[in-house]
Structure 1
Amino acid sequence: MTANNSASSLSIYLLAGVATTTCAFNECRKKLDKLFRDDGIEPHIHVLFPYGDASQSLVRQVIEVRTDLSNRMTAGRIGGRRAFQHIKQLNENGKRMLLIGHSGGGAAAYQAARMMEEYGEDNDIRIVQVGSPKTPIHPKLQARVSYFHSVDGTGKLNDPISRIGSWGGWTAAGRAMPRWNRLKFAPGYVEGIPTVGGHADYFRHTKPYTDEQAICNLDKTIDSVRGWLKGWL
């Protein structure tokens, strides 16, 4: 990744899903800070819990995540609205932003970004969804959204949360009968990551969450994200 200039800066938001401990992003935050600074970019990293942390009611958190799994303008978008309001409180308008959401946090990240677009916020923003439920992405934002999910040794999806939801929609061309397109509202970029473990382990950095080459899940996840961001920063 190459910085545009030595004075460039970037606001980074790490958004947690349900039942997440307050320390879950500690190593991820440290790694991102070092990598961006090494590239000449000054990162301002914030950790958000749009549905609350692990001390909150799991049932309530799951219900709130469901409000963010819609592309309808009238959707409740509880987590997305909380994230949006937090960003507004920090006066981040007009700055470059990177929103990285894990699990339900990925849905909240997208909804927060969409609210910025709805209200005319002038932000250069990118959204990363990691192990998230499938949230339909509005065509205006598809190129700004990436989606990463865990795969096994054969490349088959092995994160059950990534099976929840849908990107599908009906497509009609001329007089042809409408056809179901399962990727109509998919993010602009989708990639599988061969991680060790399960849904909660994308950001693990110690054994046993390392492969035969001693590469940990955190490094794989962050390297995949950086690969997608190349050319933007």
Structure 2
Amino acid sequence: MTETFVSSYSTCSNNCRTVVFFFAGVLTYRNNFEDAASEIALRYPNAKIVVIFPYGMANGIAGSSLIHLLARQLTQVGYDLVREQSRRVVNAGQIIREHAADTDQLILIGHSAGGVVAYKAGLHLEEKYDFRGIHVFAVGCPKFYLKDIPYNERFTYITGQNPDRITRIGSWRKPGSRVYRGSPGREIQLDFNPHHQGWRFHASYFLKSVWMDSNEAFHTNSVDLVSKIHELYPGN
């Protein structure tokens, strides 16, 4: 079940210049994007920030129920990876239309499988409702077949310096296909907190995870990530 809420870091509620949507992947909790949302608010004035959980939240779920939730979510992710559209994509598109019908700048930021839904929801809005200028950022996302279309020019794929097993899943191009031969407009590798390994690394892209590099300069995952997004798309 798709769940959503407007972040408390929003600086606008109606007729907003910028609307930013975060899309969650599997086993994600309500506060996962709040550190990044606070950075969005600093860089994009007059912005509404909305968080979408296409596969539902993991809050309040534990034990065997958490295992059942993960199994259901993984099945849904597998469907979304290979289909052009799903109920989750359509639901996300409807939520975007409700919050961003008249905005000047629309930014979709997806984490893990949420990146798949973000990309496809944006494409759905462009094709069916004539939305224009949507910018999509997928972070730590599995790869999926892409058509070679102009929309991809506004699709940025971001990974980290450590091997992330999720980003090894899938491919952009379908072997032998004359249709699915596309790729993201940009593929970027950023440095994130190297002390996180494995699943912790995958889960930490949007968190306020502070670390020091070899030059003794301090970094924060959420700050560095949102800074890069703003650098690539500062808006109007």
Please confirm whether the aligned pair reaches a TM-score higher than 0.5, indicating the same fold: yes
Kindly tell me: are residues 50 and 8 of structure 1, through their superposed partners in 2, closer, same or farther at Cα, counting changes over 3 Å?
closer
Whether 1:166 and 2:163 are equivalent positions in the alignment is no
For residues 220 and 190 of structure 2, the distance between their equivalents in structure 1, rounded to whole angstroms, comes to: 11
Partner residue of 1:216? 220
For residues 28 and 207 of structure 2, the distance between their equivalents in structure 1, rounded to whole angstroms, comes to: 13
Q: Secondary structure at the match of 1:97?
A: strand
More helix by share: 2
Letter in 1 for 2:191: P
Residue number among 200, 204, 210 corresponding to 2:203 in the alignment? 200
For residues 161 and 209 of structure 2, the distance between their equivalents in structure 1, rounded to whole angstroms, comes to: 19
For residues 222 and 210 of structure 1, the distance between their equivalents in structure 2, rounded to whole angstroms, comes to: 18
Q: Secondary structure at the match of 1:90?
A: helix
Please tell me the root mean square deviation across aligned C-alpha atoms, in Å: 2.5
For residues 143 and 110 of structure 2, the distance between their equivalents in structure 1, rounded to whole angstroms, comes to: 13
Deviations 1:109-144 (A, max 9, x none): 001011112213233210000100112333131101
Residue number among 59, 64, 74 corresponding to 1:62 in the alignment? 74
Kindly tell me: are residues 92 and 98 of structure 1, through their superposed partners in 2, closer, same or farther at Cα, counting changes over 3 Å?
same
Whether 1:187 and 2:184 are equivalent positions in the alignment is yes
For residues 78 and 64 of structure 1, the distance between their equivalents in structure 2, rounded to whole angstroms, comes to: 10
How much has 1:98 moved relative to structure 2? 0.3
Whether 1:141 and 2:151 are equivalent positions in the alignment is yes
How much has 1:210 moved relative to structure 2? 4.9
Whether 1:128 and 2:137 are equivalent positions in the alignment is yes
Please say if residues 93 and 122 of structure 1, whose CA atoms lie closer than 8 Å, have aligned partners that are also in contact: no
Residue number among 6, 11, 35 corresponding to 2:43 in the alignment? 35
Q: Secondary structure at the match of 2:81?
A: coil
Q: Secondary structure at the match of 2:188?
A: strand
Q: TM-score, normalised by structure 2?
A: 0.77
Percent identity of the aligned residues?
A: 28
Gapped regions of structure 2 (runs ≥ 5) = 1-14
For residues 212 and 91 of structure 2, the distance between their equivalents in structure 1, rounded to whole angstroms, comes to: 34
Deviations 1:165-197 (A, max 9, x none): 11124579xxxxx9xxxx932110010011122
Q: Secondary structure at the match of 1:141?
A: helix
How much has 1:227 moved relative to structure 2? 2.0
Please say if residues 17 and 103 of structure 2, whose CA atoms lie closer than 8 Å, have aligned partners that are also in contact: no
Deviations 1:35-74 (A, max 9, x none): 212xxxx11111111110114711111111222223x5xx
How much has 1:214 moved relative to structure 2? 1.3
Please say if residues 16 and 103 of structure 1, whose CA atoms lie closer than 8 Å, have aligned partners that are also in contact: yes
Kindly tell me: are residues 63 and 210 of structure 1, through their superposed partners in 2, closer, same or farther at Cα, counting changes over 3 Å?
farther
Partner residue of 2:7? none
Partner residue of 2:229? 225
Which runs of structure 1 show a deviation greater than 6 angstroms over 4 or more consecutive aligned residues? none
- How many residues are aligned here? 204
Q: TM-score, normalised by structure 1?
A: 0.78
Kindly tell me: are residues 65 and 9 of structure 1, through their superposed partners in 2, closer, same or farther at Cα, counting changes over 3 Å?
same
For residues 120 and 14 of structure 1, the distance between their equivalents in structure 2, rounded to whole angstroms, comes to: 21
Comparing 213-222 with 43-52, greater Cα deviation is found at 213-222
Q: How does 1:92-107 map to 2 (within 5 A)?
A: 92=101, 95-107=104-116
Kindly tell me: are residues 117 and 33 of structure 1, through their superposed partners in 2, closer, same or farther at Cα, counting changes over 3 Å?
same
